[in-house]
């Protein structure tokens, strides 16, 4: 199948990102099973696996697995490491990588902390070999700058680029030209198609649809009967490699920054440590030509419980002084209202939301919206 009006889209996916970041800090971990966990704080083993390096994956550890189960899987491997998520560190690394990726095309979309798309159609003149050279350059730059490997997929749309990036992990690069789409997709198990979850996969198999090629050839009316008049035809289009969704900036909904205190806090002694956070968020808002209406605080206790408070202002702001002032009042209210329950705070943060993009003179709303090219996750 040759797709009409193909684009040259590149998908960049940082390999086992959280675990790889930890391997950079401690290179000796590369040869050991490494598991990055979301600890609930109830017990030393309660919580779930966020990600694991490939050593641990080969031994059977999977994302979402209970930590206790992962420990059982790795019981015979005394050298295995179980580490808590360090959001601040991962965010800093991600920000640098995303800026690097963005330097290769203004048509940029960050999907998550470790994944992004760029559209290089104009600069490549739809030459996929030129797209491949850009993908290789991005891989080299990320490796040189951050010591991180990534998997890159290049295709005529976001769907194919993403599936190409997933096809050869870790550290892979796969190019799928328009005329290669059908041969690439057809033999894949139906569960490999983006958008097909376990329930849909089971339903497809009962219908005799085992591969993406089977779905591509299946009667669309029968698909509509089983999945509805919208979802049924959509599945068929995906199976045919059709995707018109453009690479585009995602509107920012909130910004946040968190730090770990030097010692646990039972009172507001850490006000000075919040000032750099307010300055950072103020500068970020100003760089986006934006203001916020909601200022909030994040408090993570020594038991790893997260507490949030927020305040809606009667005006928009991007002033660091105003953000800090409101946060200090919120934190003071947090401690004053604790009553007989004493909280020991280990990590603190500031969040701004209700973000409004100011319309710069001479620009329309859609042009201003395009400046919102990044969002922070924590």
Catalytic residues: 115
The DSSP code sequence of 26-50 is: -GGGGGS-EEEEEE-SSSTT-EEEE
DSSP 247: P
Number of Cβ within 10 Å of residue 320's Cβ equals 19
Compute φ and ψ for 146, nearest 5 degrees.
Answer: -125, -5
**How much of the chain is helix, strand and coil, in % rounded to 5?**
40, 25, 35
Which run of H or of E encompasses 100? Answer: helix 87-102
Tell which phi-psi region holds residue 228, choosing left (phi > 0), alpha (psi between -120 and 50) or beta: left
Query: CA 371 to CA 127: how far, in whole Å?
Result: 27
Distance CA 97, CA 141 (A): 9
Distance CA 304, CA 346 (A): 8
Separation CA 120–CA 123 (nearest Å): 5
Phi, psi angle pair for 332, to nearest 5°: -65, -40
CA distances from 149 to 30, 160, 172, 316 (A): 13, 21, 9, 41
Concatenated DSSP letters for 149-174? -EEEEEESSHHHHHHHHHHSTTT-EE
């Amino acid at each position: 199948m040759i797709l009409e009006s193909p684009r040259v889209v590149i998908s960049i996916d940082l390999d086992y990102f959280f675990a790889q970041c930890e391997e950079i800090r401690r290179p000796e971990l590369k040869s050991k099973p490494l598991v990055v966990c979301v600890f609930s704080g109830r017990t030393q083993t309660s919580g779930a696996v966020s990600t694991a390096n490939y050593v641990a994956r080969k031994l059977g550890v999977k994302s979402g697995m209970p930590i206790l189960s992962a420990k059982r899987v790795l019981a015979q491997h005394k050298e295995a490491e179980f580490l808590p998520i360090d959001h601040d560190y991962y965010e800093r690394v991600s920000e640098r990588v995303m800026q690097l990726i963005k330097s290769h095309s203004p048509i940029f979309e960050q999907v998550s902390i470790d994944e992004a798309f760029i559209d290089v159609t104009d600069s490549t003149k739809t030459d996929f070999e030129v797209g491949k050279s850009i993908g290789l350059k991005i891989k080299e730059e990320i490796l040189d700058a951050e010591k991180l490997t990534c998997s890159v997929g290049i295709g005529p749309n976001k769907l194919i680029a993403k599936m190409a990036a997933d096809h050869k992990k870790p550290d892979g690069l796969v190019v799928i030209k328009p005329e290669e789409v059908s041969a690439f997709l057809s033999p894949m198990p139906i569960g490999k198609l983006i958008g097909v979850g376990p329930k849909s996969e089971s339903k497809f198999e009962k219908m005799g649809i085992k591969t993406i090629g089977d779905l591509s050839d299946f009667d669309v009316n029968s698909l509509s009967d089983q999945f509805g008049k919208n979802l049924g035809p959509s599945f068929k289009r995906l199976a045919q490699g059709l995707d018109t969704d453009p690479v585009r900036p995602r509107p920012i909904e909130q910004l946040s920054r968190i730090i770990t205190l030097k010692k646990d806090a039972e009172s507001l002694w850490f006000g000075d440590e919040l000032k750099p956070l307010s300055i950072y968020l103020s500068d970020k808002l100003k760089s986006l030509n934006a203001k916020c209406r909601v200022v909030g605080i994040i408090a993570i206790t020594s038991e790893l419980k997260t507490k949030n408070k927020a305040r809606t202002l009667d005006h928009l702001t991007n002033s660091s002084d105003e953000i800090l002032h409101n946060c200090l009042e919120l934190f003071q209210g947090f401690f004053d209202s604790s009553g007989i329950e004493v909280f020991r705070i280990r990590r603190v943060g500031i969040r701004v939301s209700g973000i409004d993009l100011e319309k710069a003179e001479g620009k329309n709303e859609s042009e201003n919206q395009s400046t919102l090219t990044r969002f922070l996750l924590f």
